[in-house]
Amino acid sequence: MSKSVKNIVITFLIGCGIFIVGELISGDMFQYDNMDVFLTEFGFYQLYTFVLSYVNMLYFNYVKRIQLNSYEVVKRILFGISGATVITLITIFFLRIFISVVIFGQPFEAFIKNESWQGYSFGLWITLSILSVFYVTYFYNRFQKNKIKEQKVIAGAASAKFDALKNQLDPHFLFNSLNVLTSLIEENPENAQRFTTSLSKVYRYVLEQKSKELVTVDEELNFARTYMSLLKMRFEDSIIFEIPDKASNPESKVVPLSLQLLLENAVKHNMVTSSKPLHIKIYEDGNHLVVMNNLQPKQIVKKSSGVGLENIKQRYKLLSERKVYINQRDKDFAVAIPMLTKQVSIMRTTQKSQERLNDDYVRARKRVEELKAFYYSLISYCLVIPFLIFIWYQFSQHTIQWFWFPMAGWGLSLVFQAYRVYVDGGALGAKWEERKIQEYMQKEDKNNNWN
């Protein structure tokens, strides 16, 4: 079913419901002289419903395009309802002119003279009631979508953090460092001691910063200087470093261990020999921190997976809209990472276990099934009840109005079903079952502990 056909069917069902409510309020109780009068009255209700729905939908789409902050939900609703009130009154006025003057041929002057608030109150009340439900439903669905988007961001952050921890220090670096340490112990015990001290500082920094999203540039530069000293002991004069003493802005921050990953990549993918020394330079360029090295690729090296650079880009993507720039030229290779100066806030969370994720999926699926069941019941109610009323009117209108019994019983069942679906915190609500299960599990654990 296309969206337009679906909207027409829904609008028709709403019109049927408004027709029933209007008849109940008027007190006529579906008393018509003949079927033509009934169809005419029913047609007018549908005309009002379709025109008012279309006009208000156009206005709602206009409200959505207005540049208001996404969190200003109350302002959007008030703006929408107040505007819809004015538009509804104007639309009802022109509809009444069309029906009275064009269809029934009443003079315009007589129409204006006989106009009163009574002709507008019911239409306005019904329209605003439906619009209120519509707005609440819309923003509730939007809230749910934002929660889903939030979970995706959380999952992305957890995945990026996992990759960051996995790639913080290449196992080959540790293996090579231990080999260098072994040789230094025999050749130069003093350097071996300095090497061990620097190596311990590297791992201490990793453990301290692994849970942080950002660190100051000065902290990262100090760590890079320590890491460089390890590389210098290993490669001696084959590697040359340039690094600033401190950042120009002490408040600027970068993602932790980003410099270590870039330095390690430079050493991993380039030749480092005394005849061809590797020059690595760290410097500031505007609001970026740049790591640049001369390009002298190794002759035999496995194809780069790009995990280190991708790791840095993913972590920045979670923190800021600013991008990491990569520039490879004939003679040098440079990576510029943003230095963030404004406060950055991201959602902090612990990784859920797979069991917890499975439980969340089962609960979400159950919630969707309950919601679908409610919608099916509501649509069935709107179709069947008017049909039962029509049967009573056509064949047994002189008997008791028996259609009230299924209307009331089924309607009460719908009310309970809606409460179950939409009211989370109440008794027997959507989360009541989960709370009760938790209570019984806690009682069971307490009894087991006492026993």
State both tokens at 85: 């009130």
Q: What is the pLDDT of residue 239?
A: 92
DSSP, residue by residue, 261-284: HHHHHHHHHB---SSSPEEEEEEE
**Domain of 291: which CATH number?**
3.30.565
Q: Which of 281, 247, 276, 239 is nearest to 262 (CA)?
A: 281
Segment 435-447 shows an average pLDDT of: 61
Encode pLDDT of 352-400 as tens digits. Answer: 444 455 556 566 667 677 777 777 778 877 877 887 777 777 666 666 7
What's the half-sphere exposure (Cβ side, CA atoms, 13 Å) at 449? 6
Q: Is 189 in the same domain as 321?
A: yes
- Residue 106: C-alpha distances to residues 93, 95, 96, 123, 196 (Å): 15, 14, 11, 21, 101
Segment 174-184 shows an average pLDDT of: 72
Residue 156: pLDDT over 60: yes
Segment 280-302 shows an average pLDDT of: 87
Structural domain contains residue 149: yes
Most confident of 77-81, 86-90, 389-393: 86-90
What's the half-sphere exposure (Cβ side, CA atoms, 13 Å) at 10? 13
Q: Strands 288-294 and 253-254, how do they pair?
A: unpaired
Q: Which of 40-54, 75-89, 226-240 has the lowest mean pLDDT?
A: 75-89
Total number of domains constituting the chain: 3
Most confident of 87-101, 183-197, 198-212, 363-377: 87-101
Segment 340-346 shows an average pLDDT of: 61
Q: What is the pLDDT of residue 120?
A: 82
Residue 294: pLDDT over 70: yes
Q: Is 387 in the same domain as 404?
A: yes
* Domain final residue pick, 124, 159, 194: 159
Residue 192: pLDDT over 90: no
Distance separating alpha carbons of residues 410 and 129, to the nearest angstrom: 22
Residue 301: pLDDT over 60: no
Neighbours of 294 (CB within 10 A): 16
Residue 279: pLDDT over 90: yes
* Domain final residue pick, 291, 310, 338: 338
Residue 172: pLDDT over 70: no
172 — phi, psi (to 5°)?
A: -65, -35
Q: Which of 35, 79, 31, 88 is nearest to 57 (CA)?
A: 88
Q: Is 155 in the same domain as 171?
A: no
Segment 288-312 shows an average pLDDT of: 77
Q: Is 235 in the same domain as 283?
A: yes
Distance separating alpha carbons of residues 386 and 265, to the nearest angstrom: 73
Q: What share of the chain is helix, strand, coil (3-state, %, to 5)?
A: 70, 10, 25
**Signed CA dihedral, 20, 22, 24, 30: sign only:** negative
Domain of residue 95 covers: 1-159
Q: What is the dihedral of CA 312, 314, 317, 319, to 10 degrees?
A: -70
Q: What is the pLDDT of residue 347?
A: 39
Structural domain contains residue 345: no
Q: Strands 239-242 and 278-285, how do they pair?
A: parallel
Does the model's pTM come out above 0.85?
A: no
Confidence of residue 307 (pLDDT cuts 50, 70, 90): low
Q: Is 236 in the same domain as 109?
A: no
* Domain final residue pick, 102, 135, 159: 159
